[in-house]
């Protein structure tokens, strides 16, 4: 096959609420954190009015889906109660639905109870940072409601993950982790799965860059790949800046991610991510 004929993005689809999402071209997941503890936007979107306005902006800027999170997963984050997380998430989904009835909503949670309540409120996807490791009922819940599932890699919890960064061979260790988890998901009859290698979770700064350099390695799984690299410490620590100044670095690494086969970009800044996708897509056409 000639280089110019190479198909870079495999023909992948996701079934979300009965609608097929074509991932043969990259999609954007807009981040909407309804917490007061997130590393970048904590405390900005807490009221229904604030959430609705941000949801409207995310969609106007070109997002294909919105990821709502009520539990901060930054390193060392507070371990909040299920009741508080549920309250935040349900308010978030309600606020998004006021703006758009048909928007694909993902819920960012590792707790099956919150996933259940969110799905019943209209979420069509669960984004689980623990890959089912922190709640043994998660896979059963995903199977019961037949929703899409984002399977992320993390060792430990948000409170101690920074201490769990030892790997014999990181790309191979992660590949084995995904193979094992995907087998479990298959046994539960779960078909619509996305993998997330977990940048910033149980990895040192330099390990994050090693992982990015090997990102295409995970395409062997023939599973859509989500990259969540937006404004993370692997950018601002290297550049010696703040998360507020890390947009340019985010765009650079999102570009690299697309060139290495990412299907979904999870971002705070949708407009800029859309521009990245539009430009990078020309390289493959």
- Lookup: tokens for 58: 């995310």
How far is residue 173's CA from residue 54's CA, in Å, rounded to a whole number?
38
266 is catalytic: yes
How far is residue 68's CA from residue 125's CA, in Å, rounded to a whole number?
10
- Per DSSP, which regions of the chain are E strands? 13-16, 19-22, 27-33, 65-69, 104-108, 125-128, 148-152, 193-196, 225-227, 264-267
DSSP string, 3-49: GGG---S---EEEETTEEEE-SS-EEEEEEE--S--TTTTTSS-SHH
Reduced to 3 states (helix: H, G, I; strand: E, B; else coil), residue 104 is: strand
In the DSSP assignment, the letter for residue 247 is: H
Please identify which of the residues 27, 111, 266, 274 carries the catalytic annotation.
266
**Residue 282's Cα: distance from chain center in Å?**
25
240 is catalytic: no
Taking a C-beta distance cutoff of 8 angstroms, is the pair 31, 266 a contact?
yes
How far is residue 74's CA from residue 179's CA, in Å, rounded to a whole number?
26
In the DSSP assignment, the letter for residue 169 is: S
Please identify which of the residues 27, 219, 232, 274 carries the catalytic annotation.
232
Hey, which residues are catalytic here? 232, 266
């Amino acid at each position: 096959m000639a280089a110019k004929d190479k198909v870079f993005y495999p023909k992948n689809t996701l079934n979300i609420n009965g609608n097929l999402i074509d991932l043969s071209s990259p999609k954007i997941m807009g981040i909407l954190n309804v917490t007061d503890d997130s590393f970048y936007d904590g405390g900005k979107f807490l009221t229904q009015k604030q959430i609705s306005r941000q949801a409207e902006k995310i969609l106007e800027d070109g997002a294909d889906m919105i990821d709502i999170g009520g539990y901060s997963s930054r390193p060392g984050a507070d371990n909040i109660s299920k009741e508080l997380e549920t309250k935040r998430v349900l308010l978030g989904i309600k606020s998004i639905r006021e703006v758009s009835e048909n928007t694909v909503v993902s819920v960012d949670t590792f707790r099956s109870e919150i996933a259940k309540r969110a799905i019943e409120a209209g979420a069509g996807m669960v984004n689980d940072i623990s890959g089912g490791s922190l709640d043994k009922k998660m896979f059963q819940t995903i199977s019961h409601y037949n929703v899409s599932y984002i399977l992320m890699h993390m060792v430990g919890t948000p409170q101690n993950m920074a201490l769990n960064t030892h790997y014999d061979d990181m790309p191979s260790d992660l590949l084995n982790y995904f193979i094992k988890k995907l087998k479990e998901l298959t046994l539960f009859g779960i078909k619509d799965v996305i993998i997330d290698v977990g940048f910033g979770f149980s990895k040192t700064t330099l390990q994050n860059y090693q992982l990015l350099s090997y990102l295409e390695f995970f395409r062997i799984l023939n599973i859509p790949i989500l990259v969540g690299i937006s404004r993370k410490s692997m950018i601002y620590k290297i550049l010696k800046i703040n998360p507020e100044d890390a947009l340019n670095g985010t765009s650079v690494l999102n570009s690299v991610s697309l060139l290495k086969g990412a299907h979904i970009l999870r971002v705070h800044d949708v407009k800029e991510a859309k521009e990245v996708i539009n430009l990078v897509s020309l390289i493959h056409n």
